[in-house]
């Protein structure tokens, strides 16, 4: 999978235009607010159709009504064109001119590593559940379908609970148990591999503590129907479905303790990076090729070991785009970001061994 070029129009602060990306690492450096994150966000959206922004109009340049991003994607010798049009609350996707849904874009096409990934570790359980759901939805379209239907069912069932509609609950319960059971079983199967990959990555990052990923389930596939029935009066009182996979947590145990409560900031950052490398590996295994790797602000990573890990990871995949406030070492292409524009730069010339050191040069 390779992003041959990215075009944007009216996307956040990015100047309209097209950027080409070679194989290898593209380094993008520039001052704060130059548009580096926006570039990666646009690339991720065009490659995957995904964005974590709930209000799509935030992505549209202020003063404009619509935005557009396009990725020319090279995959196994053929080129395809992926387009995303954005308007007020709307997102239109096309592949080679044909309208598609998000799940129809190549699901293993990109992984995005960001400084705010620490929130996967220290944020609320919903963050870890969202990481797991998003990743597993990319691994399996069937699972994505089950999740979407399950969430709709929870919403409808909650409305019935709030309205005190005792008579309609058995209909929702049947659907909930069927979908919830599928979701729990798939999560359990996928987690076996994800746990191994995250553990390996955490060790590769130099952590001396073992990382273990487990599901903290509010119910089980075997007992879901009974557990629902047992909590019926509580559910009516709260007007909400209180048990099921929408309440489960992905627990990250580092050494002996839950990372979310006990890990140091640095340990948490290492765990977050391990989760992202595990995501990269799981998608590579599933789709038989490495995703495009997008690393936002490697300069925010102050620890030399983790910074080297990020740069090594970028060098290990066929294509990566790495941003920072300093030049990225070892790149195939360097772009300087300024005011939403990206200008190709010559690689910094290697220092002249004779004149580089003024003491030596003057001697
Ligand atoms: N919808 C929008 N319309 C216009 N400008 C926007 C929009 N959304 C964000 N911006 C601007 O984009 C700029 C931020 O760009 P971005 O986050 O990509 O910077 P950056 O180069 O990654 O900076 P840093 O190094 O601080 O992370 C901000 O100045 C912000 O005001």
Cα(71)–Cα(13) distance, rounded to whole angstroms?
18
Query: Helix 169-204 to helix 265-287 angle, to the nearest 10 degrees?
Result: 110
Mean pLDDT of 70-88: 93
pLDDT in tens, 16-25: 999 999 999 9
Domain 1-109+291-363 sits in CATH at 3.40.50.300
> Residue whose CA is closest, atom 19 of ligand 1?
33
Is the confidence at residue 224, as pLDDT, over 60? yes
Determine the atom of ligand 1 nearest the C-alpha atom of 57.
1
Cα(208)–Cα(37) distance, rounded to whole angstroms?
32
Distance 121 CA to ligand 1 centre (A): 25
- One fold for 1-109+291-363 and 115-289: no
State the chain's maximal CA–CA distance in angstroms: 94
Poorest-pLDDT segment among 87-96, 112-121, 148-157: 87-96
The rounded mean pLDDT for the chain is: 92
For the chain, the structural domain boundaries read: 1-109+291-363, 115-289
> Residue whose CA is closest, atom 29 of ligand 1?
33
pLDDT in tens, 168-197: 888 899 999 999 999 999 999 999 999 999
pLDDT band at residue 277, thresholds of 50, 70 and 90? very high
- Binding-site positions for ATP: 30-37
- Binding-site positions: 30-37
Where would I find the H helices in the chain? 36-48, 119-122, 125-139, 141-162, 169-204, 224-230, 232-238, 259-262, 265-287, 304-316, 358-362
Distance 155 CA to ligand 1 centre (A): 35
Determine the atom of ligand 1 nearest the C-alpha atom of 59.
1
Distance 91 CA to ligand 1 centre (A): 21
Mean pLDDT of 48-56: 86
> Residue whose CA is closest, atom 9 of ligand 1?
12
Cβ-contact 105, 95 below 8 angstroms? yes
pLDDT at 102: 79
pLDDT band at residue 278, thresholds of 50, 70 and 90? very high
The ipTM is 0.97
Cα(76)–Cα(57) distance, rounded to whole angstroms?
34
Task: Please give the structure tokens belonging to residue 361.
Answer: 């040069």
- Report, at the CATH architecture level, how domain 115-289 is classified: Up-down Bundle (1.20)
Percent pLDDT > 70 in the chain is 95
> Residue whose CA is closest, atom 18 of ligand 1?
35
pLDDT at 363: 30
Is the confidence at residue 154, as pLDDT, over 80? yes
> Residue whose CA is closest, atom 16 of ligand 1?
35
* Ligand 1, pocket residues at CB < 6 Å: 12-13, 30, 32-38, 58, 60-62, 297, 325, 337
Cα(115)–Cα(200) distance, rounded to whole angstroms?
21
Distance 42 CA to ligand 1 centre (A): 12
Distance 32 CA to ligand 1 centre (A): 8
Is the confidence at residue 361, as pLDDT, over 70? no
Determine the atom of ligand 1 nearest the C-alpha atom of 62.
3
pLDDT band at residue 348, thresholds of 50, 70 and 90? low
pLDDT at 88: 80
């Amino acid at each position: 999978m390779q992003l041959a070029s990215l075009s944007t129009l009216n996307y956040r602060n990015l100047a309209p235009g097209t950027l080409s990306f070679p194989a290898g690492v593209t380094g993008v450096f520039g001052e704060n607010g130059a548009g580096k994150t926006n570039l990666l966000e646009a690339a991720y959206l065009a490659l995957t159709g995904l964005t974590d922004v709930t209000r799509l109009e935030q992505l549209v340049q202020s003063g404009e009504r619509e935005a557009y991003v396009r990725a020319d994607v090279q995959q196994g010798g053929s080129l395809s064109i992926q387009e995303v049009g954005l308007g007020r609350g709307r997102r239109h996707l096309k592949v080679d001119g044909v309208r598609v849904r998000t799940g129809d874009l190549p699901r293993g096409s990109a992984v995005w590593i960001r400084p705010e990934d620490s929130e996967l570790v220290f944020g609320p359980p919903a963050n870890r559940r969202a990481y797991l759901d998003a990743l597993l939805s990319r691994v399996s379209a069937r699972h994505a379908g089950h999740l979407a239907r399950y969430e709709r069912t929870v919403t409808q069932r909650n409305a019935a609970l709030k309205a005190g509609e005792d008579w309609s609950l058995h209909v929702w319960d049947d659907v909930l148990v069927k979908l919830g059971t599928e979701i729990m079983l798939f999560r359990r199967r996928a987690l076996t591999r994800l746990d191994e990959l995250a553990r390996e990555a955490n060790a590769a990052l130099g952590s001396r503590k073992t990382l273990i990923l487990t599901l903290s389930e509010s119910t089980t596939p075997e007992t879901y129907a009974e557990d629902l029935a047992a909590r019926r009066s509580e559910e009516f009182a709260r007007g909400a479905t209180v048990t099921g996979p929408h309440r489960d947590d992905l627990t990250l145990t580092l050494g002996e303790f839950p990372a979310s409560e006990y890990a140091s900031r640095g340990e948490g950052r290492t765990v977050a990076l391990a989760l992202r490398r595990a995501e990269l590996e799981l998608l590579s295994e599933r789709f038989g090729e490495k995703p495009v790797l997008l690393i936002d602000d490697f300069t925010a990573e102050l620890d030399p070991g983790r910074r080297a890990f990020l740069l090594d990871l970028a060098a290990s995949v066929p294509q990566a785009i790495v941003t920072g406030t300093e030049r990225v070492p070892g790149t195939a292409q360097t772009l300087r970001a300024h005011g939403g524009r990206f200008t190709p730069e010559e690689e910094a010339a290697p220092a002249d061994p004779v004149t580089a050191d003024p003491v030596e040069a003057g001697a």
